[in-house]
Amino acid sequence: MAPPVAVSPLIKTARYSALIAGIIYGKRRYDHLKPIAAEERRIEEEEKKAREEQERIAKQLAEANEDTILK
């Protein structure tokens, strides 16, 4: 195998600059999306509770209609 070639300092600087820029962009994007996702999770949790309550009521009604002396 051939020995590794020395990388230009310009290329090294560009690579690390791109890496740091990507990390900063990702952090800013995450901070922007985090409250939106938290709000969506809160809404989904409320909808889930309402849906479970409706299912519980429907189940109770079905059981009430099922239990009759006139079977």
Indicate the burial class of 45 (C-beta count within 10 angstroms; 0-12, 13-18, 19 or more): exposed
Q: For 36-66, what is each residue's pLDDT tens digit?
A: 999 999 999 999 999 999 999 999 888 877 7
- Please report, for the chain, the start and end positions of each structural domain, with discontinuous segments joined by +: 18-70
> What's the CA angle centered on 50, arms 68 and 32, to 5 degrees?
165
Residue 71 has pLDDT above 60, yes or no: no
Query: What is the sign of the dihedral through the CA atoms of 27, 28, 33 and 35?
Result: positive
Q: Average of pLDDT values for 12-41?
A: 98
Q: Average of pLDDT values for 20-45?
A: 98
Instruction: Record the pTM.
Output: 0.62
